[in-house]
Every structure is written in C-alpha cells, then in structure tokens.
Amino acid sequence: MGPSEGLWDPCDWACTRVLRAGLVLLLLLESAMAQTAAPKVPCGKEVVSQNLSQPGYLDNPVVDTGAGFMSLLVQSFLNTVQPNPFPQALILLLTTDNVSDPATIKTVRRFLRYETGFLVCVAIGVLYIVLMPLVGIFLACCRCCGNCGGKMYQKQTSSINCRRRAIYWTLFVTTVVLFAGNVCMFKSNEAFKVSVDSGQREIVKTIDNIQTYITNVPQQFTYVVNASSNTVNVVTNNLDDIGTQLGSHIQKRFRGPLQPAMDSVVLLEQDAGKTNNLLKELNRTTDQLQLSVNGVQDNLSAVRDKVNQTILKPACINCTGLQPELQKLTVDTTFVIPDLSGMQTAVDDIIKANLKSVADNYLNSIPQRITDDTMAFTQSTKLQLKSIETHISQAANIVPLTELTELSASLDKVQQDINKNSKVIQTANHTKWGVCVAICCVVLLVVVCNILGLLLGPAGLRPKEDPSKRSCTTNCGGTFLMIGAGFSFIFSWLFMLLVLLLFLLGGNLFTLVCKPWDNGELLQFIQESGLLPPLPNNVTLSEIHRDCRKNMPLWSTLHLFESTNLDELLNVSKYTEDILQKFESSGIALSTITLLSPEVQNQLRDFPAKLKELNFTTAREQLTNITTINLNTMAANLDTIANFQTNLGIQTELKGAATDLREIQTKMEKVVFPQVGNLSSLIDELQAHGVKTNETVATVSSDVGAAQDFLNTDTTLIVKAESRVFLNCQMQLIDAYAHWAKLMITEELGRCRPVSGAVDTAALLVCSNMVESLNAFWFSLGWCMIFFIPSIICSIKLSKYYRKMKLSDEFNDHIVMNPIPRATVLQY
C-alpha cells in the first residue's frame, strides 16, 4: 500500500476517533475532580499562616517575705472572732444609704452586730488600756505608803521555798512565752518592711505587663484586619495577572493533546529541510558531473581526431582496423535527470507552511486573549474585593479598644503616682519599721529584765540566810524584776492601744478583703456593687479571672460570641458567590484555529504523487555506462600497432595518443567516477528519504487531524474548567483568610494571663505579705501584752524573795527550811 493511500486508511480513522473520545473523557474527569477537590487542595502560597505573636512579659514572681509563719494561728483567731460570712448586702447598704435616713441607723446596728466579735475584743482591749495604768498607779501609791509589797519585810514560813519555786517557774515560762512573742514581732516587722519595699517594684512590673498587654491587643487586632488587605491585594494581583496564570494552565492542558501533532510537524519540517538539502546537493553534484564529463568528452574528441589523422596516412601499417574502435571512443554527455522542480516546490510549500509556528503562535496568544476577555470581570471583581475588605474591617467593633485606651491612661497615672511618691513611701516604711523596732526593743527590755532577775536572783540566794542580809547579786535580781514590772505598767497600755488599732485594721482587712477574695465573694461583690462599669454579655469577674488564669483569649473571656456573630461578620460566601456568577456570565471565548488549511492539506496529499514522479532509471543507466568506460584497452591497442610501424613519426604519434588516453582514464578515475558514485548515493538517499518523508506526512496528517478535532470539541470545556479552578483558588484564599481570622480572634487574640497575673500579684502583695505580716505583728504584740499581766504579778511577787529586806523576822531553827541551791548548782 502506498503512502498516499495510508493517509486515509479506515483503521487509522477509527483509531483517531477512539483516541479523541478518550481524551474528551479524561478531560471531563479532570474537570470534575478539579471542581470538587479544589477547596481541599492548597492554591498557591498561603497569604497568612502563622499565629499571632504573643509579647514578652516581665517575670515578676512575688518575693516570699516569710509573713505567713503565723498565718494559720492568726487566721484561726480571726475566724473565731468573726465567724460570719462576707456581708455583701450590708456593705451595699452602708455605701448607698443616706446618713440622715433613719434606715441608716438600723444598717449601722446591723453592721455592729456583724462586728460583735471585734467589738468584744475591742472592749477587752479598752478594759486593758484603762485598768493597766490604774493598777500601776494604785500599786505605785500603795508601795509608796508601805503597802502592797512596799514594806521591806518578809515573813519566814515553812512553805516559803515552795512558793518561791512555783513563782519562779511560772515567771520563767511566762518570760519564754514573752520572748517567743517578741521574736515573732521582730520577724513580722521585718516581713512587712520587705513586703512594702519589694511591693513597689512588683507593682511597677505588673503595671508594665498590663501596659504591654493593652498595647499588644490593638496591635494583634490590627494585624488580623490588615491581613485581609494583604489577602485582597494578593487576589487582586492574581486577577491582574490572570492572563499569565490562567493562560499558563490552559497552555499546559493544550500542550498534551497538541504535543504529538507538534512533534510530527517538527519531524516533517526536519524531513522537508533535509529533502530540500538533498535536492540542492543533487543539482549541484549533477552540474559538477556534467562539467567533468564534458571535459572528458572534449579531450577524447581531440585524441580521436589526432589518431584519425595518423591512421589515414599511407605510411601507417595495419591502421585501418582502428577505425571502428575510434568511433566508440566517446562519452554520453547528456544526463537524463528527472525534473526536480515539482518535488522542490512541494518541499518548499511544506517549509513555507511553518505548521509549528502556527501552533506556537496560537498557544502564546492565549494569555493576552484571556486578559482581554476578562478585563470587565476583573474590574468588577476588584470592587467586590474592596467590599469584602470593608466588611471585614467592621470587626473593629469586637474589641473595646476605647476602654483599653482609657485603662492604659489610668495605669500611666498610677505608675506616675507610684514613681512620684516612691521616696515618701520608702521613708514612711522605714519610719514605721523603726517605730516597731523600738516597740519590739521595749518588750525585749522587759524580757531581758525578767531574765536577769531570774538569773541573778537565785545566784546569790542562801535559803537560811537572813532576808535583811541578802547579797547584792540577789538584790539586783529582785530589782531587775521590779524594773521589768515597772516598764510593763508604763508601756503595756500604750502598746495595747496600738494592738487595738492594728487589730481593727488588719483583722477587718483579712475578713472583709483577703478572705472573700480567696473564696471569690469579693469579686462578686465588686461587680454587684456597681463600683465597676457593667461588663458585657453578663460575664462575671470571677469568670474573667478564672479564664485569664487559663490564658484564654478575649473572645471566650468576655463572652463576645454572645454579642457578636463572627460567622456572619467573616462570612464572605455571598461575595464569592456573586463573583462566581459574574465570572460564569462573562465567559472566556478562545476561538479555535485551523492547524492545516485546505491548501496545506492538498500539498501534503500531493506530496506522495510528487515523489512517484521522480524516475532515476535512465540516469542510473547513464551513470553505469560512464563507469564502464576503459580507455586503457584502446591505449594498449595503439601501443601494439605503434610497435609495427616503421615510420618513426607515425609510431610516435600513436604512442602519444595512447599516453593521452591513459591520462584521460586516470582523470576519469580520480574525478568523474567519484562524482558518479556521489551522485548515485544522493539519488539513493533522496529516494529513501522521500519514502520516510512520505510516512512522516501520513503521521502529520493523522496527528494534526486528532489535534484539530481536540481543539474543535474540547477548547471551550478546558477553558471553563481551568478558569473555574483558577477562580476557586482565588476564592479559596479569601475563605482561608476568613477561617484564619476567625481562628485568631477566637483562640489567639488577647490572651489575658497578664490580667489575672496582675490581680493575683496584687492579692499576694496585699494579703499574703502585707496583711499577713501586719496581723502577725499585732497578734504577737497583743500576745506579749496579755502575758505582761502574769509577768508583772510573778515579777513583783518573786522580787520580794530576792530583794534585801529592811526588817528581819525571827528565825526558828526548829523550822525545817528547804535550802535553795545556788544558781551554779540548780537548773532553772
């Protein structure tokens, strides 16, 4: 079957249709998969993917001042004094009632009943304050009058030693208890000083953290809102570059089906180019061979004429027999080469058709065509994107930025006040510390006097010794005991007054502030009392504090989901649906092209006929005849005849002709024969390449036909599918931003651990440090004041056993006296 018949083979036509149907089915499947899977596949580079950056906060752990060493004891006492629950309603009445209103008196009575425990303690304290100086004055007056121990006389009895030892050990235990209380006073005073000193630094750090938080929340929110602008800009840039981006995908989809046709076209152009080169080389070689043969013929004609002249001479012997051979001494100089113009014209037509350039120009024009077709859609979509950006920016109303700004200004003022009064606070703290140290030293002085009395009294005491003759050491011990009692009388009522004031202050701070703070009642009261503006969405301070301890975002902490429909605010589907509808209505129309015009098809169809017209049979016979010429035989005959000649001139002429023939033969072998071989090879190659080109033409016709069918049937489908994928990608970027923004607002924006940290720090500073140390101080001081009473009694009574008496009692030997060992022997 010839090549031309193979172009329209029914089998090839059927295979082409099956291939085209398969391509259409594959395209439909890919289009459906692209439309269904597009939302699940990341489209390009994500505009925003990182979480919100959280600021770095100052590390401000509260300094452990050791103020809680007596907290359990003090709190147990205060809970006993005040067992009533936190009086929320009562405090609200006290803060809202008018003083002149009769209901206020009733409220005050309710408050006094609530403070019954404190009032009882106050009454005891007032009784102490009143009685202690009175008792001291009465005792001093009695002593001055010689009564109540003023009389320097001690009656000796049999139980005197037992009484002295009992009083001694009672005073000893009392002194130990006083000393323990005094140590607690020193420690609590130092703890309060450290609490105040460190509290200023910690408050400043806490305010800095709150300021950082307040500053960062608007920045985070601005970042989330600005990310919408970035997303819109990216989508806008993609729409501006729709020709390049969408066109590249369409080109990629087209190249698959078009590639076989383009490859075969390239192969055809290569074959046509090679055929063109072979034809040109054939013409050139033929011309060279023609010139060479013409030269050989001229030389042979000259030699033949010379030989004819020589053999016609009468003196030439036996030369007439050369006449027939001389007639054969010729070369056919006219080559019958088939006309190559038709073949050259067909090849030139294929080259001029430039089929690959047609397909390349079509593919390269797709981006600009898409840009032109979508210009109106792109402009309207940009306006829609601006609407989306404006819609998303309305989320600024979610976070109360104005309240945060006002709070920041208030914190700045607080921080300025702290810095301004820092020196005053430090001076007052040191002054208070010094006063308390002085009070502690006074109590310590009483303890020291008791200890000296307890040490010196027994040191020089002899049980059987006359009381009027006691040693100076023993007398000094009794004097120290009296001095301690005197200091106790002088300062105890003043210190009890201080205890009473600090007790009312510290005790009520614990019961009305620290204790309800710990169980959450204080936050509830603050919210219900109206001291703070109403919180949004019925959220409570306790809930805020609990959520902030968990570092929850503002969205869940302030229950913003109850007042803000974030899904509606970030719902961009209505915009994206509108964009998709406009895109569907706009449409992109890529007109198809004709890869093979009818003229080119006719040229390809005629190419096999042109190839058949090339008949090189005659030319091959002529070339064969040239290669069979052998002039050496004729030259040998001339030499033979020359040898029979007697005429030297004729002999020389014949030998010269033989030499000329050999030279011509040599030239033909060196020049003409290679040219003949080259021409013969070119003819073979041209014929073989023509057959190959004929097959390539058939392949081109088949592949280009399939590609043409693909373009005619599937161009619109591909354009729609790829356009929808591209647009879905852009909409996916917007949807991804909306999802990211929702995630950031609901889970990352304004994590409020610094707020709860500030509140907890304030509670630790006030309650765990300052109030605890303050309560420990007044409790220790009150403890000492209570034990001053047995200390005074025991000191006055025991001093009579150590002081030197002015009057002596009769001493009876029959009275069994229990000797008191010396201080160096006894262990008190």
- Quick: pLDDT tens for 298-316: 888 888 778 777 777 777 8
**Helix (H), strand (E) counts: the chain:** 29, 0
In a domain, 105, yes or no: yes
What would the two tokens of residue 554 be? 């503002």
Q: 811 Cβ partners below 8 Å, 6+ apart?
A: 156, 464, 466
Claim: this prediction has a pTM higher than 0.85: no
If pLDDT is split at 50, 70 and 90, which confidence band does 496 have? Answer: very high
Give pLDDT, residue 39: 36
CB contact at 8 A, 819 and 523: no
In a domain, 698, yes or no: no
Q: 807: which strand partners?
A: 153
In a domain, 241, yes or no: no
In a domain, 522, yes or no: yes
Check whether 281 has a pLDDT greater than 90: no
Give pLDDT, residue 789: 92
In a domain, 87, yes or no: yes
Task: Give the domain extent around 458.
Answer: 67-214+408-539+775-799
As a whole number, mean pLDDT of residues 712-724 equals: 77
> Structurally, how many domains does the chain consist of?
1
Q: Using CA atoms, how far apart are residues 374 and 370, in angstroms rounded to an integer?
A: 6
Mean pLDDT of the chain: 76
In a domain, 742, yes or no: no
Among 32-41, 288-297, 360-369, 434-443, which stretch is predicted with the lowest mean pLDDT?
32-41
Check whether 414 has a pLDDT greater than 60: yes
pLDDT tens for 329-357 read: 676 656 666 656 666 666 666 666 666 67
CB contact at 8 A, 664 and 304: no
CB contact at 8 A, 746 and 147: no
- 3-class DSSP string for 376-431: HHHHHHHHHHHHHHHHHHHHHHCCCHHHHHHHHHHHHHHHHHHHHCHHHHHHHHHH
Rg (CA), the chain: 63
What would the two tokens of residue 272 be? 């046509």
CB contact at 8 A, 668 and 571: no
Cα separations in angstroms, 379 against 156, 375, 721, 735, 748? 122, 6, 22, 21, 35
Q: 153: which strand partners?
A: 807
Give pLDDT, residue 614: 65
In a domain, 497, yes or no: yes
In a domain, 582, yes or no: no
